[in-house]
Amino acid sequence: MTPLFLLFTFFFASIVYYCFNTFLNRYPRPLPPGPKPWPIIGNLPHLGTTPHHSLAALARKYGPLMHLRLGSVHVVVAASASVASQFLKTQDANFSSRPPNSGAKHIAYNYQDLVFAPYGPRWRMLRKICSVHLFSGKALDDFRHIRQEEVAVLTRRLAGAGRSTLVNLGQLLNVCTTNALSRVMIGWRVFGDGDGLANPKSEEFKEMVVELMVLAGVFNIGDFVPALERFDLQGVAGKMKKLHARFDSFLNGIIAEHQSTGGKGDGVLQHNDLLSTLISLKDDADGEGGRLSDTEIKALLLDLFTAGTDTSSSTVEWALAELIRHPHILAQAQKELDSVVGKDRLVTESDLPHLTYLQAIIKETFRLHPSTPLSLPRMAAESCEINGYYIPKESTLLVNVWAIARDPAVWPEPLEFRPERFLPGSQYAHIDIKGNDFEVIPFGAGRRICAGMSLGLRMVQLLTATLVHAFDWVLPDGLMPEKLNMEEAYGLTLQRAAPLMVFPKPRLAEHSFCPAS
């Protein structure tokens, strides 16, 4: 048989299968509205290069509850706060697992991590470990000094860079967040002394994380048309396998170093780090899930190193970009910080509750630039009904977090950066961005809400407050603030298309940047 004949046979069989499958799909109630699918590949072409934008445009035509067919997979999209609350609150238990996907298979150790693990005893065990040892109120308070120390390291680097040194702020932020997290997780800095200026190791790690987020955000045709999976038409699976090998080597190195030093960072173990705890749980993990395996430990570390670093650093980068574009907002934030903190020391976490305007800036940044524009997919365990429409069993759910936070029916002037909308006495002052108010859900909501939300909030608040307080920011080449590039680069996380390149200009007393004696 010739290749042409085989190709013809394959596509003919696919069309017959598609038509037969469509004929059999008779449901007791109508499916939600949506665009007409193409044969075989369904609505995949409708997603475009920026799916959160494309899906928002489709929602304006078909409504806030849409149905798509991506290959052979039913997909429902929630694009309003009211619809999202029905899925993530009313139907939360039904949508608590993840659908099969190549990212979880090829990168996240075949679903053995926390983010993509099926809902059940193993997931609850991993979640409990993180909640108790890393993200509880006590753990966050215990490790407060580490976050403050790493932020102080960053400010010293920026202050010492000189006003003529152009810095890639996002890269330095990623070094800071990674080192702060790694000191808690494994007992020492991943990137040496924290100097992110021309640090090849930190640049490589940042590139790995960004590549992971980009690949994980791709709608891989093999996930939706099983017959095409083996062909890897987009080359996504191959890239994922190579990236997994790099991360696995990175994590193996960390574990080997931890074992060789006994968990002692600079020769002294200052706290019982998470990795020591995980290793101790290999033999006696409590709860329903049983013991931890070596692979589960690496999968959990992978989640924390990726989801816990780049999301925070990219959010702070967006916040600084918005403030540079709006000098009057930056000046008002600096005025508040000078009043609360003064100009003789750096911000501490104990200052944050007193910074009302700064808190509003953070909320507005999360509204306009959610770190995850499309929620991580969930899957219906059973069929259900939403707004009178039938949602079939095993349907994939996507919540367009980006579109919900820009809904003109909810937000006046939704595209404008206006922190005042969250100030006390305003219409939206009550919104807490922690999954209870569905108008802004940057961390998701329900059972699968981001496990590291509390840590992420603290890190974003502390970093943003410190950088706003300690420096003025000058753009290169006489670039006017209003001309700053604010385009997005789509991935699982929302990156800036162009990194924020700036000159830092210290505005505090010189001794403020010196290490505490």
Please name which of 396, 415, 404, 397 lies closest in space to residue 488, comparing C-alpha atoms: 415
Query: What span, in angstroms and rounded, lies between the C-alpha atoms of 191 and 184?
Result: 14
The contacts of residue 516 (CB under 8 Å, 6+ apart) are none
What value, to the nearest 5°, has the Cα angle with vertex 321 and ends 315 and 326? 125
Query: What span, in angstroms and rounded, lies between the C-alpha atoms of 343 and 356?
Result: 18
Strands 396-399 and 73-78: parallel
Query: What span, in angstroms and rounded, lies between the C-alpha atoms of 368 and 433?
Result: 12
Inter-residue contact 364 to 418 (CB < 8 Å):
yes
The token pair that represents 461 in the structure block = 């608040």
Query: How many other β-carbons are positioned within 10 Å of the β-carbon of residue 307?
Result: 25
Query: How many other β-carbons are positioned within 10 Å of the β-carbon of residue 423?
Result: 15
Helices 310-325, 294-307: crossing angle, 10 deg rounding: 0
Please, where are the H alpha helices in 369-431?
401-404
Query: Which phi and psi (to 5°) does residue 446 adopt?
Result: 75, -160
What value, to the nearest 5°, has the Cα angle with vertex 417 and ends 414 and 421? 75
514 is in an annotated binding site: no
What do you get for the CA distance between the two ends of the chain, in Å?
A: 80
The token pair that represents 68 in the structure block = 């798509």
Query: What span, in angstroms and rounded, lies between the C-alpha atoms of 229 and 49?
Result: 21
Q: Which amino acid is at 285?
A: A
What is the helix (H) or strand (E) element at residue 323, kind and residue range?
Answer: helix 310-325
Residue 74 forms beta bridges with which residues? 69
Q: Which amino acid is at 299?
A: A
Please, where are the H alpha helices in 44-95?
51-62, 81-85
User: Alpha carbon 45 to chain centroid distance?
Assistant: 25
Residues at the annotated binding site for heme? 450
Residues at the annotated binding site? 450
